[in-house]
């Protein structure tokens, strides 16, 4: 049974284990309060205590408080903490929800009054409608294309940008987009039209829930009145992640009132690409000049050593958010210094990390208290492999394991089909595999669009895995290679609760572990190259810096930062450590580590133009650096493609089985005049020479005569 405590007792319970500033935020009178708090300073603790305090002291009824945040997980965490603080006063009954859940609930209630007879239906997925909209706009409707288009529609709606305003807005912020802006705008327009054209029922997507909720309150005074009688006190956690659309809903809720507490850290803004903006947090005291502004600087999560590194990483930040940075002061007892390590290649890096993890586990750290964090999901593969070999259980968070990824399963299937249909296929295996992967998305250049790029990275990783296998066992054929890859996939541990966490930096936000390994910190990976393409001082590069800051601040005690100079063993060591570590990492941290000889490769091929070693798969296929000038004969290439199409039809095989795009490019560039020159081109073996050599040489000769 719940026993109500005396007011003094519950006050002590709520305030006793808070520091002075946290207490100030909790005790601030009703009205606008802004807590600018760095990572690990107890933001969620403070915000839940404030709610409990206001309720316990009788300032507000539990049912009049609405606490919102952005993810289900964070909302659940808030509810759990509020329940734990309930000493009979009803704190546990406070609504703590995501913006979307709150809007959905309100809309269900108000809909009949504002709309009347038409029902509404929440779309589980907008995929089908976006695909239809893309088709009408004459755009491709492959899975990645549709997903990227859906991402653009979501960004625009979250940013309150209409189809008419899309092109200008994109140009304004220099956004990377998958297709021509006018085309995307047409798809967006078509999408909205398709949704409303259904009979008798309005289809709503998640953003519509928010739009309609705001509109219902804005446009109907009776609805506004009823809503405002019900909710009087608003609290927002992680306020730096608010989108303009969510802010509009929040404004509708407030309706000119100011009983609002927000908590945030502008330096942890890492979701700008979805439309989130810290400007509302940073402008809070301009909008509410009488607001109580509290800064928390004591970091209760990490050792002073980790905190000091976090301070140094963010000290170099530029731009507006940087103006809000706080110098964190570590509160925990001292621990080990963060470790910086450089490795010759990614395999050596992963092997060494797995070894360190094993050591930590052997000396008593729980596997569930260890994390490996990377920039993009495709980086997980080498770590899955290394941990498997070390016999350490793990789980991949916020993405599936490498071999469960859709494109990798598709790739293995395509390889299997080729192996079945053409058992006597010859030619270098890496080239055969690349030809199979090309139509699945392994293009020479990384594609535009986040999801398409993610998929491309995974295919590149698979192609490199194949190179490693072939280097190890030169006689391997496609069947044996597949068996090897399948065995690898099967030997991976199924997900376990108690394993080491593998996660991207984005997915690690808000979490904490005793030991954290930040891996792959090479320039071009963090900051990622497409951020760098906006310029070294650009906002996208600053967002990458904040990602590193988020990563560093996840560690309680042990922190290791590492990078590799080359992707593959034996590859050209052309990489440099992340620019964010300049002046932070000590000069020499080179650790050659126990690079596994079994994955060592032969010397990398060289560029036929500048003679540099070639390391990336597209470069190896082209036999030149991707940046070296192409000396291609375009008309010959067109003729070769026409010829290939005819032959593939005659043979009833897909075009890439005849020659891959990159093989044709290599022919049109190097203009072979005899058999020897032909077989020197990757992708052309003895069998292809016999089948197609005469045709190709004739085509080349024909061009040269003309």
Q: Nearer to ligand ATP by C-beta: 38 or 571?
A: 38
At closest approach, how far in Å is the CB of 80 from ligand ATP? Answer: 12
Give contact residues for Mg ion (rule: CB under 5 A). 43-44, 510
Closest CA to 575 of 340, 341, 344, 350: 344
CB of 306 to Mg ion, least distance (A): 17
301 contact, one of Mg ion, ligand ATP, none, CB 5-8 Å limit per kind: ligand ATP
Q: Which does 41 bind (CB under 5 to 8 A by kind): ligand ATP, Mg ion, none?
A: ligand ATP
576 contributes a contact to ligand ATP by CB under 6 A:
no
According to the binding rule CB under 6 A, does residue 300 interact with ligand ATP? yes
Smaller CB distance to Mg ion: residue 44 or 691? 44
The minimum distance between CB 245 and Mg ion, in angstroms, equals: 22
410 binds, among Mg ion, ligand ATP, none (CB under 5 to 8 A by kind): none
**36 or 465: CB nearest Mg ion:** 36
Is there a contact between 308 and 47 (Cβ–Cβ < 8 Å)? no
Name, in order, each residue with C-beta under 8 angstroms of 107's C-beta and a sequence gap of 6 or more. Answer: 120, 209, 212, 213, 216
Query: Bridge partners of 201?
Result: 119
Q: Name the nearest CA neighbour of 552 among 35, 45, 39.
A: 39
Distance CA 427, CA 591 (A): 37
The residues pairing with 605 across neighbouring beta strands, listed in sequence order, are none
44 or 450: CB nearest Mg ion: 44
Residue that has been written with the tokens 């078509």 in this structure: 190
Site for ligand ATP in 470-529 (CB under 6 A): 510
With 0-12 / 13-18 / 19 or more C-beta atoms within 10 angstroms meaning exposed / middle / buried, residue 357 is: buried
39 binds ligand ATP (CB under 6 A): yes
Residues within window 16-35 making contact with ligand ATP, judged by CB under 6 A: 17-19, 22
40 is a site residue for ligand ATP (CB under 6 A): yes
Encoding tokens for residue 646?
Answer: 């005819």
Q: Is 44 in the site for ligand ATP (CB under 6 A)?
A: yes
Q: Which does 17 bind (CB under 5 to 8 A by kind): Mg ion, ligand ATP, none?
A: ligand ATP
Indicate the SS3 state at residue 646. helix
CB of 341 or CB of 509, closer to Mg ion: 509
Q: Please tell me the distance from the alpha carbon of residue 705 to that of residue 696, in angstroms, as a whole number.
A: 14
Q: How far is the CB of 319 from ligand ATP (least distance, A)?
A: 20
Residue 296 CB, shortest distance to ligand ATP, in Å, is 7
Q: Minimal CA–CA distance to 615: which of 524, 487, 483?
A: 524
Between 330 and 510, CB nearer to Mg ion: 510
Q: How far apart are CA 632 and CA 646, in angstroms?
A: 22
Name the nearest CA neighbour of 82 among 104, 102, 63: 63
Cβ pair 398, 507 in contact under 8 A: yes
CB 45, min distance to ligand ATP, A? 4
Give dist(CA 291, CA 308) in Å, integer: 31
Least Å distance, CB 555 to ligand ATP, is 11
Q: Which of 43, 49, 147, 546 contacts ligand ATP by CB under 6 A?
A: 43
Q: Which of 14, 35, 41, 346 contacts ligand ATP by CB under 6 A?
A: 41
39 binds, among Mg ion, ligand ATP, none (CB under 5 to 8 A by kind): ligand ATP
Quick one: 269 or 351, whose CB is closer to Mg ion? 269
What is the residue-wise DSSP string for 497-559? TTSEEEEETGGGTT--EEEEEE---BTBBTTBHHHHTT-TTSHHHHHHHHHHHHHHTTEEEEE
Residue 367 beta carbon to ligand ATP: minimum distance, rounded to whole angstroms: 19
**Binding residue numbers for ATP:** 37-44
Which x/- pattern, by CB under 6 A, does the window 265-294 give for ligand ATP? Answer: x--x--------------------------
Cβ contacts of 539-545, under 8 Å, gap ≥ 24: 539/272, 539/319, 542/317, 542/318, 542/319, 542/321, 542/322, 543/269, 543/270, 543/272, 544/580, 545/313, 545/314, 545/316, 545/317, 545/580
Phi, psi of 29 (to 5 degrees): -60, 160
Nearest distance, CB of residue 46 and ligand ATP, angstroms: 7
Q: Measured between alpha carbons, how far is 461 from 466 in angstroms, rounded to an integer?
A: 9
Pick out residues in 230-269 that bind ligand ATP (CB under 6 A): 265, 268
Phi, psi of 513 (to 5 degrees): -140, 160
Number of residues engaging ligand ATP in binding (CB under 6 A):
17
Task: Give whichever of 298 and 688 is closer to Mg ion, judged by the CB atom.
Answer: 298
Which chain residues interact with ligand ATP by CB under 6 A? Answer: 17-19, 22, 37, 39-45, 265, 268, 300-301, 510
């Amino acid at each position: 049974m719940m026993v109500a405590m005396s007011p003094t007792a519950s006050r002590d319970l709520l305030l006793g284990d808070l520091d002075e500033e946290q207490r100030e935020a909790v005790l601030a009178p009703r009205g606008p309060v802004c807590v600018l708090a760095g990572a690990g300073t107890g933001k969620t603790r403070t915000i839940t205590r404030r709610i409990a305090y206001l309720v316990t002291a009788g300032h507000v009824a539990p049912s009049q408080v609405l606490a919102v945040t952005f993810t289900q997980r964070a909302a659940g965490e808030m509810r759990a903490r509020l329940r734990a603080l309930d000493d009979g006063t009803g704190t546990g009954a406070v609504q703590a929800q995501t913006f979307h859940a709150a809007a959905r609930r309100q809309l269900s209630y108000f809909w009949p009054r504002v709309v009347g007879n038409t029902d509404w239906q929440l779309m589980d997925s907008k995929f089908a409608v976006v695909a239809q909209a893309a088709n009408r706009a004459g755009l491709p409707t492959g899975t990645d294309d549709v997903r990227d288009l859906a991402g653009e529609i979501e960004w625009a709606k979250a940013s309150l940008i209409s189809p008419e305003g899309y092109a200008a807005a994109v140009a304004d912020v220099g956004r990377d987009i998958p297709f021509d802006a006018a085309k995307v705008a047409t798809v967006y327009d078509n999408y909205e039209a398709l949704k409303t054209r259904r009979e008798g029922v309005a289809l709503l997507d998640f953003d519509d829930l928010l739009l309609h909720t705001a509109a219902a309150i804005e446009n109907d005074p009776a609805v506004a009145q009823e809503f405002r009688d019900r909710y009087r006190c608003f609290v927002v956690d992680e306020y730096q992640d608010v989108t303009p659309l969510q802010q509009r809903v929040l404004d509708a809720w407030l309706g000119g009132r100011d009983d609002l507490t927000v908590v945030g850290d502008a330096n942890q803004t890492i979701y700008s690409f979805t439309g989130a903006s810290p400007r509302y947090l940073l402008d809070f005291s301009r909008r509410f000049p009488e607001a109580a502004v509290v800064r928390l600087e004591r970091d209760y999560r990490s050792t002073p050593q980790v905190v000091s590194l976090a301070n140094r990483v963010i000290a170099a930040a530029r731009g507006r958010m940087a103006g809000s940075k706080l110098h964190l002061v570590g509160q925990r007892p001292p621990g080990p210094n963060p470790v910086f390590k450089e490795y010759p290649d990614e395999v050596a890096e992963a092997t060494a990390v797995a070894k360190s993890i094993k050591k930590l586990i052997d000396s008593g750290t729980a596997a569930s208290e260890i994390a490996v964090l990377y920039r993009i999901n495709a980086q997980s593969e080498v770590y899955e492999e290394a941990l498997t070999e070390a016999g350490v259980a793990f789980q991949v968070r916020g993405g599936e394991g490498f071999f469960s990824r859709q494109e990798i399963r598709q790739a293995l299937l395509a390889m299997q089909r080729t192996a079945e249909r053409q058992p006597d296929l010859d030619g270098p295996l890496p080239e055969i595999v690349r030809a199979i992967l090309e139509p699945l998305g392994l293009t020479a250049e990384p594609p535009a669009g986040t999801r398409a790029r993610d998929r491309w990275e995974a295919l590149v990783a698979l192609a490199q895995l194949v190179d490693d296998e072939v280097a190890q066992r030169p006689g391997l054929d496609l069947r044996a290679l597949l068996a090897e890859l399948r065995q690898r996939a099967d030997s991976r541990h199924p997900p376990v609760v108690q394993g080491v966490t593998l996660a991207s930096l984005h997915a690690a936000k808000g979490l904490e572990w005793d030991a954290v390994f930040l891996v792959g910190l090479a320039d071009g990976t963090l900051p990622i190259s497409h951020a760098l393409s906006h310029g070294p001082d650009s906002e996208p590069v600053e967002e990458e810096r904040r990602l590193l800051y988020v990563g560093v601040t996840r560690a309680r005690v042990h922190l290791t930062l590492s990078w590799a100079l080359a992707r593959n063993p034996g590859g050209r060591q052309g990489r440099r450590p992340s620019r964010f570590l300049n002046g932070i990492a000590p000069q020499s941290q080179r650790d050659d580590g126990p690079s596994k000889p079994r994955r060592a490769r032969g010397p990398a091929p060289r560029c036929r133009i500048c003679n540099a070693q070639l390391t990336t798969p597209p470069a190896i296929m082209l036999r030149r650096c991707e940046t070296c000038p192409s000396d291609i004969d375009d008309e010959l290439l067109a003729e070769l493609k026409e010829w290939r199409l005819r032959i593939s039809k005659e043979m009833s095989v897909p075009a890439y089985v005849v020659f891959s795009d990159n093989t044709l490019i290599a022919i049109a560039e190097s203009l072979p005049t005899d058999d020897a020159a032909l077989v020197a081109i990757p992708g052309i073996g003895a069998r292809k020479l016999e089948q197609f050599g005469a045709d190709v040489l004739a085509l080349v000769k024909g061009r040269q005569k003309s």
